[in-house]
Amino acid sequence: MELTHFNTEGRAHMVDVSEKAITFRAARAAGQVQMNAATMAKIREGTVGKGDVLAVAQVAGIMAAKRTSELIPMCHPILLTGVELHFRLEETALHIFSEVRCKGETGVEMEALTAVSAAALTVYDMCKAIQRDMKITDIHLLFKEGGKSGVFTAEDD
């Protein structure tokens, strides 16, 4: 497989997508924040001192997806047409899911992954006074479609 983010001199460069067709692109990602049951209870009850953890994490994820190109050096700025974040709460794990969509020349996998990452970091930030040993884990791509590489679906999800 050819590495596309290197020029003929072996140095990093931003891939030129000007000749690519504009097509529908979508990606979904997931991750989780592991915590103790007492911390999760405070999130469920809305009693975390900094506010509504899930509402703030959702906004953080959306904002991060929109600004991915400012965080990841070789990512293109993309006009996103949709960003959604969903949460599933278990006794000791908060599962975070993102879906990102656009019509463009390049995919939105990094935007979906960045959304999950920022949401997880926001949960950690808002709950760290309660529990400092939370773990952010398993951030990964679940699905992507669009472009010449077609559809990808993670095998274990």
Which member of 125, 133, 156, 157 is catalytic?
125
Catalytic residue check, 125: yes
pLDDT one-digit tens code per residue, 85-129:
999 999 999 999 999 999 999 999 999 999 999 999 999 999 999
pLDDT at 6: 66
User: What is the mean pLDDT of the segment spanning 38-54?
Assistant: 96
Q: β-strand 93-104 against 152-153: which pairing, if any?
A: unpaired
Residues ≥6 apart with Cβ < 8 Å to 12: 5, 6, 73, 74
Q: pTM for this structure?
A: 0.92
Task: Give the CATH number of domain 23-153; options: 3.30.360.10, 1.10.3720.10, 3.40.50.2300, 3.30.70.640.
Answer: 3.30.70.640
User: What is the mean pLDDT of the segment spanning 49-55?
Assistant: 96
- In terms of Cα–Cα distance, which of 12, 24, 42 is closest to 151? 24
Residues in the chain: 157
Residues ≥6 apart with Cβ < 8 Å to 147: 20, 23, 25, 106, 107
pLDDT over 90 at 4, yes or no:
no
| Calpha distance 18→28 (Å, rounded) | 25
